[in-house]
Amino acid sequence: MTIFAGRFIPWVRNSPRWALGVGSIAPDVPLYFLSFGGIYYFRNVLGWEDERVFHHLFDDLYFKDPVWIALHNFLHSPTMLIALFGLAIMLKRIRLQLGRWFCFFFGACMLHSIVDVLTHHDDGPVLFFPLNWNYRFASPVSYWDRNHHGGWFMVCEVLLDVAMLMFITWNWRNRSGVGKELSQLESGTPV
């Protein structure tokens, strides 16, 4: 979504795409490692049943364990991201090219975080981490919880994903010349 938005926002068009791409997924990476590592450990080493594993991971550790909270919210908390974005601006002002990259990276993390805050009913990012380790915005919608419009949200998300993939494919096809080559093949003109 971040890279897609970059096509339409003028000041983002000349951004380092790698920073946008990495920044758009980086906030979730620690949770993936913690989740998959926890699933493997509790299921395969301790022999727990799946229901107990998922309850422990996402009802206990996710909300109460300081390591999980810190790792998951370091790049999810708007407060932390504002501070990190400020540091990136300082790096940029002393003329470090890396500062520009980090500005776009933390900007992409912030967009990810804002979307998460607005689409998680009670399990979104901790807003004021590291100052407060508990406060989460209770959004009226959830992208996954059917009790909070999750069914409709899933349909909208899939439609949006398909539309973006079609746009990206169409754009890539036109840029790479694949569309021209296919037209020439269909018409019998040598490529």
CA 141 to chain centre: 18
184 lies in some domain: no
| Whether residue 21 sits in one domain with residue 105 | yes
Task: With respect to residue 120, please indicate whether it lies within any of the assigned structural domains.
Answer: yes
Are both 40 and 92 inside the same structural domain?
Answer: yes
Pair (71, 152) in one structural domain: no
Residue 156 within any structural domain of the chain: yes
Same domain flag for 126 and 153: no
For the cut 70, the answer to whether the pLDDT of residue 1 exceeds it is no
Q: How confident is the model at residue 178 (pLDDT cuts 50, 70, 90)?
A: low
- Is 15 inside a domain boundary? yes
- pLDDT of res. 80: 97
Question: pLDDT digit string (tens) for 101-150?
Answer: 999 999 999 999 999 999 999 999 999 999 999 999 999 998 888 898 88
Residue 9's pLDDT is 65
**For the whole prediction, is pTM greater than 0.95?**
no
Q: Are residues 160 and 92 in the same domain?
A: no
> Do 134 and 145 share a structural domain?
no
Residues 156 and 85 in one domain: no
The domain tally of the chain equals 2
Task: Clarify whether residues 37 and 123 are in a common domain.
Answer: yes
Structural domain contains residue 7:
yes
Please report whether residue 181 resides in a domain.
no
**pLDDT higher than 80, residue 155:** yes
pLDDT score at 12: 63
Residue-level pLDDT at 157: 85
Inside any domain, residue 185: no
Both 85 and 34 in one domain: the answer is: yes
Question: Are 73 and 150 in the same domain?
Answer: no
Give domain status of residue 189, yes or no: no
Are residues 21 and 39 located together in one domain of the fold? Answer: yes
Same domain for 114 and 168?
Answer: no
Q: What is the domain range of residue 167?
A: 141-176
